[in-house]
Amino acid sequence: MSPPEMSRPVKPETVFDRDAEWDALVAFTCDARPGAGLGVVSGRLRQGKTHLLKELTAALGGFCFGAQQAARAESLRRLGDELARYTGEAPPPHRTGWEDVVDALLALGERGRPVPVVIDEFPDLVRQSPELPSVIHGAYRRLRETGRGNRTRLLLSGSSLPVMHRLFGAAAPLHGLADLELTLRPLDFRQSARFWHIDDPRLALLVHAVVGGTPAYRHYVAGDAPSRADDFDAWVCRTVLNPRTPLFLESHHLLQEETDHWDRALCHSALTAIATGCRTQGEIAECLGTPLTDASHCLTLLQTNGLLYGTPDAFRPHLVRLRIAEPLLAFEHAAVWPHRSALEQQDSVEVWRRARPVFDSAVAGPHFAQICRDWVMDHAGQAVFGARPATVAHGSLSDPEQRAGPDLEAEVVVRGRADARSKPLLSVGLARWDRVMDLRHLEHIRRLLTLLAARGEDVTHTRPACYSGVGFTPSLRAAEADGQVVLVDLDRLYQGDQHDSDSVAARRTER
């Protein structure tokens, strides 16, 4: 007869949101099946992994060890001492290898109930002791061979995404052992608004364009949040542009911690190029005046560390557009980087006065378009586009009638799930952060649809959409009433068309 299932703890109030993540961790830990389990928790720095795992072990009486960058012998000694305090036993003799330590950790689950055992920042230990993954694999193999009753739930956590991927990749000793693979991502734009206690959607989007959804950044400014829209500029000056706050140099620290010791100067320059409008590898290499191979190496490093991502153009899939994943890095490299030296000498208010127009055009505008794409995937009801979206991306096409002119662009192109031939085109939309949208924008979309139809795309059921940060003219509202266009304003982005919350959470943990 299988052992009874443990009572599952309620998520502590100190953990904001993270409902799906908490439930997944609790389900893994409290699984009543016999046998030791292995879980993997990853995610970029500052997302709250450590806090979440400490609360889990506190709620379930588990053990948590936080690794540090230290010599191998020191880590072995620290872990042995902390394990002795946890068990109440005498500290072990000096250990020279990981085999005994891993066996002692796994032995915590031999007392009848599932026990969460967390090793936080596991990559730091592997850097000191490359043999550690093989040691863990061997310990699990011995448990299976001996048939010993063991219900340890070992959770290995880490912020170094390349190392975590490599440790559990196809050629790694730990590949295939994990019963749980969980990634903590930044809070989305709606969660962030609640986290910062901001009700005004325009203000919420501006704040999100600066600090994104990283929970730690609110603590970095001692909880200081702008009280109203006209406080935003002053808030920027007293927080992210204030040399006395940890947020002031966070972008430098983030790049230093995430990219190890490669050419950080080139990484900064690449991020500046992207933040100010370059989107492809070729454009970035040209802007930097560096060989394409060097630029490609740098961009791959940034992507591997989760600081940059690329998405194929919705109409020209061979064209991959690059975008900075961390809003604080985009804010820094577009609006602040040129004024860094001035901030050391001048009043931040004057510096921000000069930087604000660049923020509005190069940061807030593109960020608004990304929020619109996120809304389509996570919050738009199925009825909005006639089917559930599968992908949403930026799209661009050349117009044969305007050979010398710029490409026609659409910031929010929505496709459905693939059929036998292609992904159906559900919607083509424009996103304008600082413009009242009118019928000219609808005509722009219709021109795009005409060009797409001429290329053989089925646009029969494609719905035009306009996304605006400041509103729509009465004539465009009338077109919406006639079913000609979908209109999405800030209120709808932050409050409307909510999917079922469980499916939203599931999609966010999958992506």
- Express as a percent the part of the chain with pLDDT over 70: 93
| Element at 310 (helix H, strand E) | strand 308-312
For residue 423, give both structure tokens: 């992904």
Task: Report strand pairing: 180-183 vs 308-312.
Answer: unpaired
Looking at residue 507, its pLDDT comes to 46
CA geometry: angle 310, 316, 318, nearest 5 deg: 55
For 261-296, write each residue's pLDDT tens digit.
Answer: 557 888 999 999 999 999 999 999 999 999 999 999
Instruction: Determine the pLDDT at residue 305.
Output: 86
- Distance (Å, rounded) from C-alpha 358 to C-alpha 288? 20
The DSSP code sequence of 136-194 is HHHHHHHHHHHT----EEEEEEES-HHHHHHHTSTTSTTTTT-SEEEE-----HHHHHH
Return d(Cα 161, Cα 42) in angstroms, integer. Answer: 7
| pLDDT at 257 (0 to 100) | 77
3-state helix, strand, coil in the chain (%, to 5): 50, 15, 35
DSSP state of 68: -
Using N-to-C axis directions, what is the helix angle for 264-275 and 281-288, rounded to 10°? Answer: 120
258 confidence band (pLDDT: 50, 70, 90): low
Instruction: State the average pLDDT over residues 432-449.
Output: 97
Residue pair 424/461 in contact by the 8 Å Cβ criterion = yes
Please list the residues that pair with 362 across neighbouring strands: none
pLDDT surpassing 80 at residue 171: yes
How many Cβ atoms are within 10 Å of 300's Cβ, its own excluded?
Answer: 12
How far is 266 from 446, CA to CA, in rounded Å?
Answer: 41
Structure tokens belonging to residue 149: 């009753």
Give the 3-state secondary structure of residue 320. Answer: strand
Secondary structure of residue 336 in the 3-state scheme: helix
Q: How far apart are CA 104 and CA 97, in angstroms?
A: 12
Alpha-carbon distance 250 to 186, whole Å?
16
Q: How confident is the model at residue 504 (pLDDT cuts 50, 70, 90)?
A: very low
pLDDT value of position 403? 72
- Give one DSSP letter per residue of 435-497, joined into a string: S-B-HHHHHHHHHHHHHHHHTT---TTPEEEEEESS-B-HHHHHHHHTTS-EEE-HHHHHHSS
CA gap 6, 113 in Å, rounded: 8
Q: pLDDT by residue (tens digit) across 444-473?
A: 999 999 999 999 999 999 999 999 999 999
Backbone angles phi, psi at 399, to 5 degrees: -105, 115
- List all residues 6 or more positions away from 304 whose beta carbon is below 8 Å from its beta carbon: 161, 162, 165
Terminal alpha carbon distance of the chain: 38
pLDDT at residue 11 tops 50: yes
